[in-house]
Structure 1
Amino acid sequence: MEIGQQLLAKQGFSNMMGTRLTRLTKGEVELELPMRPELRQQYGFAHGGVLSYLADNALTFAGGTAMLDVPIITSEFKINYVRPALGHQLVARARAVHTGRRQSVCQCEIFAVDEQGETLVAVAQGTIVVMGSSKES
């Protein structure tokens, strides 16, 4: 968990967003993001870019810890927005579903949290890969 906190602290964008790492085990992660007015779009719910950022970061943490190899990077991901994200906080939970030597396929669910509890607002799937040397790129 400590190394995850250190990695998150090095991400300027994550710091600006206010993201917190609340759980990290091999192949699994939970990130929380308090909602603020500037993270909402014109209809009052979380902007799709905010959900996409959260999915990308959660997928990468899950895949990176599953492979136990650094450095890693997101190769691709897809997100489905299933309902408007209303509430005071977002929670992303991701896990590696298949891990090989050079890549990990991961899934993520994002929930909006309000006084009634959690509501699923987006699901994502992505591939996290071990970065090669600059000669391979």
Structure 2
Amino acid sequence: MNWVLWSLLSAIFAAATAILAKIGVAHIDSNLATAIRTTVVVVFAWTIAIALGKHGEIRQVDNQAWLFLTLSGLATGLSWLCYFRALQLGPASRVAPIDKLSVVLVIIFAAIFLKEKISPLAIAGGFMIAAGAVAMVFA
């Protein structure tokens, strides 16, 4: 499978995550809900790594990879804590579009930090995503 199909599957699972999480946080603290979800993700991810025989490669991970994966994990944790609290307080149909403004931020950050070339069409798409998110929030 190529990256486009994996990206579409990611979007499908992200949508399911929002709906399932909204139901899940209805009667418990959002931080506890995040901890439960994170535990499931950890067990699931290690199960996949072990099942595919990739766990032995951990010895080959260099310091830079450890640093950036650790920082990414911290950012993920903070994102999830904020997302679950937002879902607990607001409607999923409005929380999710704001959360997806991350797409716009990735475009900006990729240009700044990764020196990726962003096409005019991608910039226009980013503006449309941002406008769509704003429209959905205030609809």
Same fold per TM (> 0.5)?
Answer: no
The structure in which a higher percent of residues are strand is 1
The structure in which a higher percent of residues are helix is 2
Larger radius of gyration: 2
